[in-house]
A and B are shown apart, each in its own frame.
Chain A
Amino acid sequence: MSAPFVPHTDEEIAEMLAFLGLESLDDLFSTVPEAIRLAGGLDLPPAASEADVVGRLSELAERNRPAGSRLVCFAGAGAYDHEVPAVVRSLASRSEFVTAYTPYQPEVAQGVLQAIFEYQSMVARLAGLEIANGSLYDGAAALVEAANLAAAATGHQRLLCSAGVNPRWRQAVRTFSAGSGHALEVVPLAADGTTAWPSPEEADGDVGAVVIGYPNFLGCMEDIAPARALADATGARLIVAFDPVASGLLRTPGAMGADMAVGEGQAFGTALSFGGPYLGLFTCHLSDVRRLPGRLVGETVDRDGRPAYVTTLRTREQDIRRERASSNVCTNQTLMAVTAAIQLGWLGTTGLREVALRSARATRYLRESLLSLPGVTAAASAPVVREFAVRTPLPATALVERLVEDGFLAGVPVTEGFEGTEFEETLLMTATERRTKEEIDAFAASFEKAIHR
C-alpha cells in the first residue's frame, strides 16, 4: 500500500475484495460514472516521510519570525503573548482530549463534558453573567452570534456598534449581515477614544443590539452606562465585547449592565498560533438560554443516580431544528475551551488578578516610556489599562518594519476599520505579564532611534 496510515496488507485487501465478489479496488467505484472519474491521479508531490516533511517545514520555519526572545512582542489587538506553562501544554495535549469527537455518547465522554462544564462555570464568572456556552470559533464569531441572538430576541435587525469594537469582528458581522439582513451602523469614536453615542432621539427607532468594547480596541476604558441607557431606550440588547484577562481587575460586563458579553479567550492557554485556532467566549443571561448558540453542557445524573454531564437543551441546535435553528454551529473549539479551563485552574483567583495587574503595570511603564519620547503622543486621552495607541512621527506600518530589524514586534498598525479617522496609522501596543523592565527599556531606546532615523 502506498498510504502511510492504512494498515491493510496486500493479502488482506485481496481477501476483502474476494469477500465482496470484486476483482480490483477500481471495482469499488462502480457507482461513479466513468465520464467524470479522475484519470491520471492527483497532481501532488509524492508521499514523504515525517523526517522529509519536517525538513521542509524547517525551511519554511526559517522564514517566520515568531514572538520570543528574538522578537519581543508588544503586539495585541486581540491576540496576546501570555504565559502558557508546561503543565497546561502537557494536560491540553493529552490525546483523550485531542482525539475525541463531540460528546454525543455521554457515557464515554464524561472527561470532555465535565471539562466543558468547568469551563462554562469559569467563563460565566469572568463575564458576570449566568450562562456561558461551550465555545465558539473566536471573538468575531461570538459577536456575530450575539448579534443574531439579539435580533431574534428583539425582532429588530438594526445593530448600533461602537467603532471601538475590534474592527475585524465588526467586519465579520458585516460579512454575515449580507445573509441575515442585519443593518450594521458603526458609531464613531470621539477624539478621546470613547464612543460618541447618539441620543435615543437621534438613534430614531427600534434597535436590536447596542455593542460596545470594554476596554475598547484602542485600549480605552469606556463608561458602559450611556450604551446601557441607549439600549433601554431603543429596546435593544446590550452586547459587551470584553477582555476576559481584564476581569482580573475590572468590574465584569455583567456587573456593568451587559445583556450579553462576548470575547476572545486565546489569552487563556493558547499560543499566538498565527491567529487560530482561538476561542470565542459567549455569555448571556439565563433568560436567553433557549436562544443560546452552540453547545451547552449540563449537570445531571445517570440511571443509578451518579453525577453525570451531558450536552443539553439540544433542541436549539441545527441537527434537530434544521432550517428553524438560529445558529448553524456544530464543530466549535472544544479543545481550546478545555485548555482555557486548565489555564484558569492554574491561575486561580489570585493568578488571574496577577496576570491582569502585571499586564497593566507593564503597559503603564511602556506607555510612559514611549510618551516621554519627543514626537510620540497618545492617540486618545481616555484612560487605558492594558493596551493603548500612540501617534508617531512616521507611519505605524513603516515603524513596525524598522523595529522588527531590532528584534521587536512593536505593535499593530491601526488601519483596517479605521480608514479616514484620526486613529488611522496610529500604533496599537500592549505589554503582557511576560514583559520585563529590561525589555521595555531596550525597546524604548530602539523606538526612539527608529522614529528619528
Chain B
Amino acid sequence: MGHEHEPTLFDLSVKGRRAASFRTSGLPEWGAEELVPAEFLAPEDETVELPEVSERDLVAHFTRLTHRQYSVDLGAYPLGSCTMKYNPKSCDLAASLPEFANVHPAAPPSCSQGWLELLVELEEALCEITGMVAATLQPSAGAAGELTGLLLMRAYHSAKGEGTSRTRVIIPNSAHGTNPASVTLGGYKVATVGTNSRGGVDLDALKATLGPDVAGIMLTNPSTLGLFEEDIVEIASAVHDAGGLLYYDGANLNPILGVVRPGDMGFDIVHLNLHKTFATPHGGGGPGAGPVAVDERLREFLPGPRPARLGDGRFGWQMPARSIGRVHAWHGNALVLLRAWTYIRLNGGDGLRSVAEMATLNANWMKERLRGTYDIPYDRPVMHECVVSAHGLAKETGVRALDVAKRLLELGFHAPTVYFPLIVEEALMIEPTETESPQTLDALAGAFLQIASEARAGAAGAGAAHDAPSTTPVGRVDEARAARHLIATIDQRAS
C-alpha cells in the first residue's frame, strides 16, 4: 500500500491551473452582473476558492489515495455485522447502463416504464425472501429503514387509537446502536431486555416488560452474537398477545436466505440492508439502501408514492391510502436497488439458499478453528458470524482485542469488529461471509492463531501486537488529539 504521505488537493493547488472544459453553447455571453442581482452576487473577496489542478494531477492524487485504502476487492474483510462479501461486477455494469443511470427522477412514467417494472419486481422478490406482502424501497440505509419501520408502527397504533398509550419499544441489550437511536427519533422510549445464558432474549424479562404501553420490539435475528433466536415463536406470540408489533432488523439476514423467513417467524415489519445481504458495494460508508417490507396490516401506511402495476401491463406511481408520507426526496437509492435486483437474478432462489449455507458454514468453521485459543462466550452453533473474546488472552498477556485487530491489519487482513456486542468483554466479532474460500479462511484463522501464540510466547510477541500496525500506510492514529484539537477542514488547519 502507499506509504508516502499524500498532500491534500489544496496543497497541490497552483493558481490558474485547470482541468475543466465545457460544451460550446453558442449562447450570449452575459456577464455575472447582468444575470445576478447585485445584492446576491458574490464580491471578488468572497469567491469560493477550490483547488486548482491539472487533470493529470487530479488523477495522480486520487489514485495515490486509493493506494492507501483497503477494500473487499483487495482481500478478506471479516467485519462482523457488516457482511463485507464480494460485490459482483455484473451489478456495477447494470448500474452503469445509461438507460437507467440517466433517467430524471421527475420524468413522467412514460419515460420510466423500465425502471418502474424493475422496482416492482425487486419489491416482489424482497417480499418473497422476507415473507411479507409489500415493501417501500425509499429508505436510503438501514438506519433510515429502522426509523421508517418505527413510524409505520406508530401509524398502526394511532389508527387503532393507541398512538399515545403505547410509548415504549423493547430492544435487547445486544442490539446495534442504530436501534435505540431510531427508537428515540421515532418518539418512543427504549425498554432494554437482557440476554439469557444461551445468548438469546431473556424471555421472562421480556414478558415482565410487555404491557399495554409497549408498541413493539426490535430484534435482530440472528443476533449480533451470531445466534439464531431459539425462542422466536414464543417471543412473537407474547408480543402479539400484548398488542405489540415485531420489527426485524435485517442487518443479519444473510444466513437465513431461503432457510427461514422473518414473516414466518412472526415479524410484522422488516428492513433489509441491500448493501450487506444483496452485495451492493459499501462505497467507504454508503450509499446503501434499506427497503422496509411489511405484512398486510401495515401495507396501507407505507411511504409513497410507490411503484405499482396498473393492470394494463403499464406501471405507475400510487400513494397508499394512509401513507406516513415520503422518507426520501425521490424514490430511494435507485442505482443501489438496481444492483440488488441484478444480484438476486444472478443467484436465483437456490443460489440465495447457498449463500446462506456457505456463510453459515464459514462462520462455524472459523469459530471451531479459534476454539481453545480465544474464549467463546455463548458457545452454540452460530449463523453468519461468530463472536469470540480476547478476554483470557488479555489477562494472560496484556494483548487486547484492539491489539489483535491492529496486528491483523499488519498481516494483510481487515480487522473484525471489536468491542461489540457490548455484552461480551474484549469481543472480536468475525463475519467471514460466503465469498471467502476455504484457503482464505485458513489463512485468516492462521493469522488469529499466530497473534495469540506470539503473545503467549513472551514479551516480544505481545509487544509486536501493541506496536501494530507498522506495515500499513500510517501507524496507530492519535484519535484523542483529533477530537481535542479539531481540524475538520483545510481552513481550520490554517487558523
Q: What are the nearest 3 A-B pairs in CB distance? A: A275-B330, A111-B69, A335-B283
- Per-position 1/0 for B96-137, Cβ under 8 A of A: 011111111111101111110110000001001100000000
Check A348 against B114 for contact (C-beta < 8 Å): no
Which stretch, A89-97, A189-197, A228-236, touches the partner chain B? A89-97
> Which residues of chain A (309-328) have a CB below 8 Å from chain B?
309-310, 312-314, 317-325, 327-328
Contacts of A324 in B (CB 8 A): 184
Closest to A37 in B: B260
Contacts of B492 in A (CB 8 A): 130, 286
Assembled-state Cα–Cα distance A358/B27 (Å): 9
Q: Is B321 in the interface zone, CB < 8 Å from A?
A: no
* Shortest CB distance B110–A (Å): 6
Contacts of B485 in A (CB 8 A): 300
Check A130 against B51 for contact (C-beta < 8 Å): no
Contacts of B437 in A (CB 8 A): 7-8, 12
Interface centre among A45, A57, A126, A435, by most B CB within 10 Å? A57
Which stretch, B201-209, B240-248, B342-350, B389-397, touches the partner chain A? B342-350
Assembled-state Cα–Cα distance A323/B170 (Å): 12
* Shortest CB distance A450–B (Å): 14
Contacts of A111 in B (CB 8 A): 65-69
Check B70 against A100 for contact (C-beta < 8 Å): yes
Known: A176-B151, A277-B333. A50 touches B90 (CB 8 A): yes
Which stretch, A134-142, A199-207, A370-378, touches the partner chain B? A134-142
- Per-position 1/0 for B368-399, Cβ under 8 A of A: 10000000000011010000000000000000
Contacts of A15 in B (CB 8 A): 438
Interface size on A, residues (CB 8 A): 212
Beyond the given A102-B285, A274-B331, A314-B483, please list 20 additional residue pairs across the A-B interface where CB-CB is below 8 A. Answer: A3-B434, A31-B227, A31-B383, A32-B259, A38-B260, A54-B94, A57-B342, A91-B62, A94-B66, A101-B84, A108-B69, A110-B68, A168-B326, A250-B36, A272-B101, A274-B335, A299-B493, A304-B475, A319-B176, A321-B177
Contacts of B347 in A (CB 8 A): 3-5, 47
Assembled-state Cα–Cα distance A330/B147 (Å): 12
Which stretch, A349-357, A387-395, A418-426, touches the partner chain B? A349-357
Check A105 against B405 for contact (C-beta < 8 Å): yes
Closest to B489 in A: A121
Known: A43-B128, A117-B488, A341-B9. A135 touches B286 (CB 8 A): yes
Contacts of B270 in A (CB 8 A): none
Check A29 against B181 for contact (C-beta < 8 Å): no
Check B98 against A66 for contact (C-beta < 8 Å): yes
Assembled-state Cα–Cα distance A52/B345 (Å): 9
Check B71 against A438 for contact (C-beta < 8 Å): no
Assembled-state Cα–Cα distance A52/B70 (Å): 32
Check A104 against B146 for contact (C-beta < 8 Å): no
Contact of A105 among B325, B381, B414 (CB under 8 A): B414
Assembled-state Cα–Cα distance A30/B382 (Å): 10
Q: Is B258 in the interface zone, CB < 8 Å from A?
A: yes
Known: A65-B112, A109-B69, A352-B48. A299 touches B482 (CB 8 A): yes
Contact of A302 among B42, B65, B354, B476 (CB under 8 A): B476
Check A19 against B25 for contact (C-beta < 8 Å): no
- Per-position 1/0 for B400-439, Cβ under 8 A of A: 0000011001000011010010000000000000111110
Contacts of B1 in A (CB 8 A): 108
* Shortest CB distance B226–A (Å): 10
Contacts of A59 in B (CB 8 A): 114
Contacts of A313 in B (CB 8 A): 483, 486
Check B334 against A57 for contact (C-beta < 8 Å): no
Check A6 against B354 for contact (C-beta < 8 Å): yes
Known: A6-B434, A33-B232, A176-B151. A331 touches B51 (CB 8 A): no
- Per-position 1/0 for B267-305, Cβ under 8 A of A: 000000101000101111111100000000000000100
Contacts of A91 in B (CB 8 A): 58-59, 62-63
Check B488 against A131 for contact (C-beta < 8 Å): yes
> Which residues of chain B (178-221) have a CB below 8 Å from chain A?
178, 180-188, 190
Assembled-state Cα–Cα distance A20/B363 (Å): 11
Interface SS, B side:
loop
Q: Is B447 in the interface zone, CB < 8 Å from A?
A: no
Known: A105-B405, A331-B143. A12 touches B23 (CB 8 A): no
Interface centre among A66, A301, A335, A338, by most B CB within 10 Å? A66
Q: Is B87 in the interface zone, CB < 8 Å from A?
A: yes
Contacts of B420 in A (CB 8 A): 319
Check A307 against B22 for contact (C-beta < 8 Å): no
Check B187 against A102 for contact (C-beta < 8 Å): no
Check A60 against B345 for contact (C-beta < 8 Å): no
Check B36 against A249 for contact (C-beta < 8 Å): yes
Check B286 against A303 for contact (C-beta < 8 Å): no
Check A36 against B260 for contact (C-beta < 8 Å): yes
Known: A79-B105, A107-B409, A332-B285. A179 touches B92 (CB 8 A): no
Closest to B406 in A: A107
Assembled-state Cα–Cα distance A358/B348 (Å): 48
Closest to B119 in A: A274
Contacts of B183 in A (CB 8 A): 323
* Shortest CB distance A332–B (Å): 4
- Per-position 1/0 for B8-39, Cβ under 8 A of A: 11100100011110111111111010011101
Check B328 against A137 for contact (C-beta < 8 Å): yes
Contact of B325 among A174, A264, A297 (CB under 8 A): A174
Assembled-state Cα–Cα distance A7/B29 (Å): 60
Contact of A385 among B35, B185, B380 (CB under 8 A): B35
Known: A57-B97, A330-B143. A251 touches B40 (CB 8 A): yes
Q: Is A360 in the interface zone, CB < 8 Å from B?
A: yes
Q: Is B49 in the interface zone, CB < 8 Å from A?
A: yes
Known: A48-B346, A106-B477, A276-B140. A118 touches B329 (CB 8 A): no
* Shortest CB distance B127–A (Å): 10
Check B51 against A45 for contact (C-beta < 8 Å): no
Contacts of B486 in A (CB 8 A): 286, 289, 298, 312-313
Check A322 against B181 for contact (C-beta < 8 Å): yes
Assembled-state Cα–Cα distance A364/B324 (Å): 39
Check B327 against A60 for contact (C-beta < 8 Å): no
Contacts of A162 in B (CB 8 A): none
Check A348 against B53 for contact (C-beta < 8 Å): yes
Q: Is B167 in the interface zone, CB < 8 Å from A?
A: no
Q: Is A409 in the interface zone, CB < 8 Å from B?
A: yes
Q: Is A13 in the interface zone, CB < 8 Å from B?
A: yes
Q: Is B144 in the interface zone, CB < 8 Å from A?
A: yes
Known: A54-B94, A168-B326, A328-B146. A31 touches B334 (CB 8 A): no
Contacts of B354 in A (CB 8 A): 1-3, 6
- Per-position 1/0 for A22-62, Cβ under 8 A of B: 00010011111101111001111111111011101101111
Contacts of A188 in B (CB 8 A): none
Assembled-state Cα–Cα distance A16/B445 (Å): 14
* Shortest CB distance B409–A (Å): 5
**Can you list 13 A-B pairs, Cβ within 8 angstroms, ordered by A?**
A2-B348, A13-B361, A63-B114, A65-B107, A272-B103, A289-B488, A299-B493, A320-B177, A328-B185, A336-B283, A348-B19, A348-B20, A349-B48
Contacts of B174 in A (CB 8 A): none
Q: Is A453 in the interface zone, CB < 8 Å from B?
A: no
Closest to B56 in A: A87
Q: Is A77 in the interface zone, CB < 8 Å from B?
A: yes
Check B105 against A132 for contact (C-beta < 8 Å): no
Contacts of A452 in B (CB 8 A): none
* Shortest CB distance A407–B (Å): 11
* Shortest CB distance B295–A (Å): 15
Q: Is A124 in the interface zone, CB < 8 Å from B?
A: yes
Check A302 against B478 for contact (C-beta < 8 Å): yes
Contacts of B61 in A (CB 8 A): 345
* Shortest CB distance B233–A (Å): 6
Assembled-state Cα–Cα distance A115/B65 (Å): 8
Check A30 against B351 for contact (C-beta < 8 Å): no
Check B42 against A348 for contact (C-beta < 8 Å): no
Contacts of B25 in A (CB 8 A): 358, 361-362, 433, 435-437
